[in-house]
Structure 1
Amino acid sequence: MTGFALGVDQEEWCGQLRALAAERLRPLAEKGEPGRVNRPLLAALGELGLLERVFASGALELCLLRESLAYGCTEAETALALQGLGAYPVLRAGSEQQRERWLPGVRAGRTVAAFALSEPGAGSDAAALALAATADPAADGDGDGDGRGWRLSGEKCWISNAPEADFYTVFARTGEGPGAKGVSAFLVPADRPGLSGAALDMLSPHPIGSLTFDGVPVGPGDLLGEAGRGFRVAMDTLNLFRPSVGAFAVGMARAALDATLAYTADRTAFGGTLSDLQAVAHRVAEMATRTEAARLLVYAAAGAYDRGAGDVPRRAAMAKLLATETAQYVVDHAVQLHGAVALQRGHLLEHLYREVRAPRIYEGASEVQRTIIAKELYAGVAGAAGAVGTAGVAGVTAR
């Protein structure tokens, strides 16, 4: 594995993004209402061309974008990422008609997208989805008049941008096979009859809600890809976005670390600055080392994705796991070193302390990432053992 280092142009671009986030986007974020979609913020992301970069870039550039925005304005980073997460399945698996109908609005920040995978009884175990897509010739939700369709019945929960999104990428059980083999992906406009939702009051400030599907009609024109292949659509999306969740976490960790360096170098206590105390200096050194290690793993995973490497699921899981756990550690210790001032509403660290907890759960909790990593590692062992066994048989035959 090669080392990671940014080029001069990339460093300059990241610096510009951090400044843009702090000076242009943060004021818009501060005017928004917690738990609601901030449409002026989305429009600004579109106007600045940043939403376009989500769809036109590879994993490495997406990570640079998310880390830099997170450093200066976590709300802007999250709004951008949710647009990408909700609409990327349309880009990858949607028909030309679906892409032409929905993606221009997403890129411009006019159309709000959402990724509807989790359910009350199927969060970490995504293959256990219960939302049913029952065949119904009368449904024909896409309006093409071919008399073929399904009705969606059930619930989704913990859906970012719900219930205010303009369309949802919805994963439902069409029953072509057991488990993941019987899941299909649909593009469901928010105005479909039978679809309703409610906001959930959560710790982090971005919008999250539940959705209820009461016989929502969908047709073949609403399918994203092929029937029964929806789980692959979901996993392809998550394999791209998991390393970039790590980049989001790294951006928060770097912001907390820089705030801590500035504070401890200036704050006087016990006849000197806090940075003169070995206990403080060593803790800051640990925070910096963990942040750098997480950053390297994130960009190694992004590079592997862009190269089309075969070990992307393992690398993506490792990157998300280490980066989100590291960000929690760094922000928590930053609060401790600041003391009570960091607990005041409106303080950077008070904000980061609320923001940093959720990434260890969404898009696969840390425990799920460990399961993925272990599964990939043992699959490699089994494959190697099989190769050795085959080689042995061939050798005996040759004699």
Structure 2
Amino acid sequence: MGWTYLSREALARAKAQMDEESMGVRDEIGFLTIHQRYADRFFPGTSVLHTRARYALFVPWLFEDLAGMTGPAAQRALRERERQLAGRLREMGESQVIGGRVFPKPSSQPPSTVYWNALAVWGILRPRLNERTVSRGQAHRLLRTAGATTDDDGQPLLSFDPPFVPLPERPENWQGGDITLRLTAEEAEFLRERLVQLRRNGGNELSLLARLIKTETEAPAEMWADETQAVAGPDQAALMRAQQAASLAGVGRAVYDALLERVVEVDDKREIANRHRDHLAAIITTHGRLAAKLDISALEADIGALPPKLLAVVTATRDWIASRSGNPTALFDVYAAAEARKGPRARLAPTPNGRARRLEWSSDEHGLASPLHYRWEQVSTLLNDLAEAA
């Protein structure tokens, strides 16, 4: 079976789906919008599929190794090289290997897919003249021209800009032998020089990621730690709101699960445990105080206007938490309206499709709701990789 490079639009859709699945639960109501927007603001170029920082060098090295190849031949060669790299890293006992779990099969999400956006945002992949991101196919074609004096039509090449900026020297064992995910000091410095320049949302202010990397220390214990606040600068207030929004989303996801349990019990007349209803009470105790403080207008100033149905959910949920009602049934209509965007997959709907979807849902197997994480685990690994470079 063949394979092709994804378009920028397809990659964006895939990224959204992967972010959603990484939350541990389906994003039935739409809280993922808040997660993605704040994560992109604070940590540009990051993805929930990122594992280790050295992949940001592995990918361009692999492309440069294949200079001269284009089209399907380059795609097949890259796929095989990425598969081999996964095997070599796995043999060294590395635990965060992209494709390690499926080796010797190739990964469906190889490093060149996972890190391509990061390479562009982090200034490792040069932009095109129109500022659009160079695609992987275009990168192969640009590399092919490195040793050529004419293009494919026989016309002389007036200039040549390789797709990647000058990279650190490859390790001696790059082509064969033992290799790990640990950065060398030179590699870490290369990445640090680019990451400390990252601006927030394309503006003039340094991103929170850049400010954290400037400290040249390991990651704080949590995103909301004093050490993070101390370097957040103009993002301090937004960071506080992001924490409040994370807590509200955690409560909101628990509300959805509790409502679903109730519909199964009351409307479908099926026995079901109170697992998620009990968890709702617990998460309100832990996160309700923070969630009730959220200034929604200020949140939208941080990350842009929310979709109307999500805005209605966020507003109603905050007000419900502040009321200390404890009974989520008053939120049913606004949550059902938000979930309706999923069409026949909506579980709260009083329709045959809704009942069928509820029959497929298992309260015991469905993960308990938790706050948004804004990719902090991946950011922490990046910070620690840079700090621990050999």
Q: TM-score, normalised by structure 1?
A: 0.27
Which protein has greater RCO, CA pairs closer than 8 Å, 6+ apart? 2
The TM-score normalised by the length of structure 2 is: 0.28
Higher strand share: 1
